[in-house]
């Protein structure tokens, strides 16, 4: 089946989403997320593109960017090729990391730019990982309000300028807007992914343990990494209660891991 031709943005603004192949995590630790951000910063050189918002989840990424001297396809190829090389080398793996090509949708109006920024920043809240957008470390929310480490990578003037030319007023209005409840819909991972059958999930969990050199989990004493629990959740879409039952972990501990 031929690939569907992408729609070209008249404004140059795009919402970009990258997804892990087969729901797998594309980030296994904070070093991976930091490397992805540094890769984007490197590829922004010489105004190739402008980054306005981002959110890195464990198995997918949301970006709001505007084309510069390069088109969005070239930009995304530069970023993904570089990151996949790093990831595969670090984890001694081969093959695809991302599912298909990146997904994209155009953003043409100012009100949609604001709505998209809010949607991206609220992604971890809607996923139940944090209570407030400001609590999530791997999004651009705090870059607009503080001199965050990732602020150097962001072009914040466009979004803030839509609130006010006065920076103090813009910050205040921006914060209020970003914390409002919203019902905007933008592309995302499939919202209604069915949870995996429990028997199949148990088999998958045992395989994941074996892949890490752990042959079984029967005595409750095996140390299970937080990354494995998050990856297991991403692959199965099981509730914290069912994950706890399968893994032998306390349900409260599973909840803390999934929200961290």
pLDDT of residue 181: 74
Averaged pLDDT, 226-253: 84
pTM of the model: 0.71
CA–CA gap between residue 246 and residue 206 (Å, rounded): 10
State the fold for domain 13-178: Alpha-Beta Plaits (3.30.70)
pLDDT of residue 260: 66
Give the tens place of pLDDT for each residue, 41-83: 999 988 999 999 999 999 999 999 999 999 999 999 999 999 9
Give me the DSSP letters along 118-146: HHHHTHHHHTTS-SSGGG-TTBSTGGGTS
- Expressed in percent and rounded to 5, the helix, strand and coil fractions of the chain are 50, 10, 40
List pLDDT tens digits, range 97-114: 998 778 899 998 898 999
Q: Grade residue 208 by pLDDT with cuts at 50, 70 and 90.
A: confident
> Structural domain boundaries of the chain?
13-178, 198-259
> Given this model, what pLDDT does residue 113 score?
92
Residue-level pLDDT at 180: 82
CA distance 129 to 126: 8
The larger pLDDT score, comparing residue 125 to residue 190, is at: 125
Mean pLDDT across the chain, nearest whole number? 85
Q: In the prediction, which pLDDT does 251 show? A: 83
Q: Residues in the chain, how many?
A: 260
pLDDT at 39: 96
């Amino acid at each position: 089946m031929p690939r569907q031709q992408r729609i070209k943005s008249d404004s140059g603004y795009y919402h970009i989403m990258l997804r892990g192949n087969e729901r797998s995590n594309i980030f296994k630790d904070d070093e991976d997320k930091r490397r992805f951000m540094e890769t984007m910063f490197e590829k922004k050189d010489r105004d190739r593109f402008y980054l306005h918002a981002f959110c890195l989840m464990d198995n997918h990424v949301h970006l709001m960017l505007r084309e510069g001297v390069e088109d969005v396809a070239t930009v995304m190829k530069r970023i993904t090729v570089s990151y996949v090389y790093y990831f595969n080398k670090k984890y001694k793996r081969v093959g695809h990391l991302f599912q298909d090509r990146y997904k994209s949708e155009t953003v043409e109006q100012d009100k949609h730019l604001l709505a998209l920024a809010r949607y991206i920043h609220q992604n971890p809240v809607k996923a139940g990982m944090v209570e407030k957008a400001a609590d999530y470390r791997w999004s651009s929310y705090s870059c607009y309000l503080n001199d965050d480490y990732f602020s150097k990578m962001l072009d914040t003037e466009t979004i803030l300028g839509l609130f006010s030319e006065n920076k103090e007023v813009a910050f205040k209005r921006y914060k209020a807007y970003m914390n409002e409840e919203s019902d905007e819909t933008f592309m995302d991972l499939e919202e209604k992914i069915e949870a995996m059958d429990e028997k199949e999930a148990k088999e998958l969990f045992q395989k994941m343990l074996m892949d890490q050199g752990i042959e079984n989990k029967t005595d409750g004493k095996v140390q299970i990494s937080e990354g494995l629990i998050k990856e297991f959740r991403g692959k199965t879409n099981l509730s914290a209660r069912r994950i706890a039952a399968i893994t032998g972990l306390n349900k409260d501990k599973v909840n803390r891991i999934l929200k961290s």
